[in-house]
Amino acid sequence: MTLEITNTVIVASVVFLVIGYLVGNVAPIYGKSSIPTAQIQQAGTDPTAAGGTEPQQQPSQQVSLSVDDDPTMGSKDAPIIVYEFSDYQCPFCERFFSASLPQIKQNYIDTGKILFVYKDFPLTQIHPGAMPAAIYAKCANDQGKWVAFHDAVFKNQGALQQGQAGLDSLATQAGLDMTALASCASDPSAQKEVENDLNTGIAVGVTGTPSFFIGSPEKGFVNVVGAQPYDVLRQAIDQKLAE
């Protein structure tokens, strides 16, 4: 089974990268405000690499975000939503997965305080395995096994460098129905869903991965950029819960 990347997403990624380098540390949101972000690096965004000079958290913004058919963890009745824009081949995303997500899950997701929503932001020009992995993840979500596949990828990102064989190995580890997976992954609508996430991210000013929007439509969303320590994310979540 093979996956193809359309010209649309390639062009979008090129534009995204060029804009990221040109504007440096500022990315506009709907022309109403600006969110300073870290410089685009090979894997996306890592403000901590700038020696602490980059802002870790930005003021609340009114941005247009919705859950749609994205994979989620937690209660849909939770008062706060955490949107993560992520790339399956991004090492900084893996850092968040291994260093911060377990505590967020234990203290906020499992306790019903937040709904965690995963949105794809594959940097296809530098991560050739990101789009195929995102497509497989969408299909895994259809089978109710997104968490298993998501975790399998971030525990063994190196498998994505093995191409189709590595991707299929991860799907097998996650317990996916490979026949259903092949049918889903070959359907253009699966890639379209990933591209919709990418376009949403660009629209709200995402310029690297991981990037988080924490809040609610009523309270607005604060943007936390990069593979931040758990305490940085905890502070942002607690601030929104207290508002």
Sequence spans of domains, the chain: 7-242
Q: How many CA atoms lie within 13 A of 143 on its CB side?
A: 26
The C-alpha atoms of residue 126 and residue 118 are separated, in whole angstroms, by 21
Please give the mean pLDDT across all residues of the chain: 81
Q: How many CA atoms lie within 13 A of 41 on its CB side?
A: 18
pTM flag (> 0.95): no
> Quick one: what percent of the chain has pLDDT higher than 90?
72
> Quick one: what percent of the chain has pLDDT higher than 70?
75
Among 228, 236, 234, 222, which Cα is nearest to 48's? 228
pLDDT at residue 205, rounded to an integer? 92
Fold of 7-242: Glutaredoxin (3.40.30)
pLDDT at residue 48, rounded to an integer? 31
| Statement: residue 114 has pLDDT above 80 | yes
Give mean pLDDT, residues 158-170. 96
The C-alpha atoms of residue 121 and residue 12 are separated, in whole angstroms, by 11
For residues 60 and 132, the model is more confident at: 132
Strands (E), the chain: 26-29, 33-36, 72-73, 80-86, 114-120, 211-216, 220-225
| Statement: residue 178 has pLDDT above 80 | yes
Which of these ranges, 34-48, 67-81, 146-160, has the smallest mean pLDDT?
34-48
Which of these ranges, 31-45, 114-128, 141-155, has the smallest mean pLDDT?
31-45
| Statement: residue 198 has pLDDT above 50 | yes
